[in-house]
Structure 1
Amino acid sequence: MIFFLSLKEPELKDRISFLAQPKESKTIWATTPWILTWGNQESIRPLSRSALQASPSPRIKALAQPKRDFSLQIQLRKEEEEEERRRMKISRPSSHAVQYENIVRLATPKTRGRSAQEVNYPHSFLCEHDCPIWHVSPSVRNVVVSPRILQLANPKTNHPNFTSNRQNVQTFISYAAQTAKMTSRLEQLSLPKLRKNRHFYNPGRPESPIRTVSRGARNATASARIQALSTPKALSKDYIPPREPTWQP
């Protein structure tokens, strides 16, 4: 308000007319700097003379390199994997004999080349993992075992209430039970109980209702409240239905 009061009448009119002009869209400036002609080799934005004559740095040259396309290498790798898988299937066919030999080989226990009690040279770093002798250092052999270690070394015992597996006892069936004849009642009780599927109703005639309607429900007279509740909801008074589109040639 103070700014407008400080202006004179001609300046105020010019200011108001300037502010009354609609705001121009900046997207037009960013997208269309000038009229473009299709088919020529001119750039969309004008390039200055210094930009045309400038020499790019090694970093800009590195960034200007197009990104490598690895899709072809991925496809070739998949083809190589499929070829290798196919070659492995052909070179090592699966058969019961080969599987049996493999199971026998895996089930054979490993044996040591020399006896564990054999005297050998002291342990060296050259036979860390392949040494056939288990070397125990003197400090470990002369150590004093604590009561706690002795307690932990004892095997775990079974619970006092533990009951082992019982021996199979043969069940003897008497001669009377073997020669007995079942009554009709026992045969009826031995049959499994059949439960009907109550999720679905038996399909009937198309005009018949899905659920059975009793005679009393069919002969009943609906009250005024039930008739009011069964009336469908009406549309509003101000509702205007959609007009059909009219096509004109």
Structure 2
Amino acid sequence: MATARQSGVSHYLSAHSRNRIQELAEPKKVACANDPRLVWGNQETIRTLSQAIVTAQPSPRIVALAKPKKDFGKNQCRPLFMYSCGRESTIWERLPPVDFGLPSDRLLKLSEPKKYLAAYLQQRPRESPEWPVSPAALMYKASPRILELARPKVLHAEFLLAREVPTPVTNAATLARASSRLQRLAEPRVRKVTDCYELSFPESVIRPVSKSAQKAIASARTLELARAKGLHPDYVPLRGAEWPVTKAAKHAVATPRLVELAQPRKRSPMSLCHFNPDAFTVKEAAKKATCSARIQELARPIKR
């Protein structure tokens, strides 16, 4: 029973809201659109005024507000120009006594610059941006180092100014129009994106070589440009990962000291003991040790 009542209420609300939305969706009617009393282009009112409004008397406050603002500039001097809206300008002509009059004490006081506070003057390193130079500074002779630093930076020895256009283009060339043949030759060649050449020539050669090109003799400059770039005189090729071992090294016997040094350092695993910050400390004797000539020789990097 409750479910049926709720469904009926919801159906009523949805229908009511739908009707309200349709009512609000209708455009608003213009009040004066179809009014026969309205005539466009005249100064008549949209609605006729009642007799009470026509015969009404304004109050003293309305009369006071309706008075235009008084222009105080008319009594002083003649305005220079008028604004477009009919309002007089606030700029007037200068009277002759103004050019020759002396300023009053009030104007002189107002024209004085603002004085600095005493706290600000104490914080400044000097009183003015221009400070007197001592005679010692005026008579000081600069050292050669100061003269060298004061010398402006010169241009590089190989510096070249901007070059002019090597071949000026004539007016005829700028106004020339390319022929159909030139436009056809200027079009880029359309190539298919493939991994193979088009077999338009015999399979033995990619493209034919003319007989004159086959019999041509290269000049000295062409041979020089065709020569491959050589390696540096001090270039040493990389050593291979495997190199032959001498017989003496194969039959060498390690001394007890080398065997002792070759054994790895035994440390207990970190999971079984706490971290020891002093595990990698360097002894004082090791800090003061002096390398032998052999160790310095072995520490020197290999020059390649």
> Normalising by structure 2, what TM-score?
0.19
Q: Between Structure 1 and Structure 2, whose CA radius of gyration is higher? A: 2
Larger RCO: 1 or 2 (CA < 8 Å, sep 6+): 1
